Amino acid sequence: MIRFTAARYDEIAKRIGYSFKDRALLRHALTHASSQRKHDHYERLEFLGDRVLGLVVAEYLFKTYPKHREGLMSARHSQLVRGDICAEAGKALALSDFIVIGQGGRNRGLSVNATIMGDVVEALIAAIYLDGGLETARHFILSNWHPFLTSRNTVEKDAKTFLQEWALGRSLPIPAYSVVSREGPEHAPIFVVAVQVAGRDSIQGKGKNKRVAEQDAAVRFLARENIRT
């Protein structure tokens, strides 16, 4: 079990470039629900961090690309706030060194995967926002998202749009998405969505809402069919 000593708090501050006034916020952001400490984990913070990230990225796109239409900005936005992008940012900061998973989770073989890493980064954004304000959170996001903001790979059309245009270009019906299941607690649901393209096997994706799950399903379809990897 990782212990949050004064030295560890200092180490994290150096890693993320911010020193918390309220260290409990930082501890919560880095603690998985398997710790079984009531409200002492990242799920509620993740909810807020997702919104702060979305706002900062939307503002960045609005100001940086004054001639871009709403549709293109929306596509870029959906790419930049994806869970796997958050996970990449967390991996670059080596946050796995500090993430706490409870004994029960470890007994089930739970480890710091991309989903947990992405959730932790969103929670960390919320913690920084609550502790240091929006400007501090904006600085953290723009600093750590710089590789993605300037990469062509994250400004291409989002997977769902790309798949629809691919299908229409082959005179196929528009891909159909359907909710397979909704799991998890009310405040942090996980949606499973299937996408069906005529003549191809369906494939499922997951996400914290239907939009994200649809994008994930489209990404998986494109990769499986070697359309866009």
The residues assigned a catalytic role are 50, 122
Indicate the helix (H) or strand (E) that contains 192. strand 190-196
Using alpha carbons, list the distances in angstroms from residue 87 to 82, 194, 200: 9, 23, 30
d(CA 113, CA 206): 15
CB 199 within 8 A of CB 172: yes
* Closest among 207, 204, 205 to 184, alpha carbons compared: 207
Please compute Rg for the chain using Cα positions.
19
d(CA 48, CA 85): 17
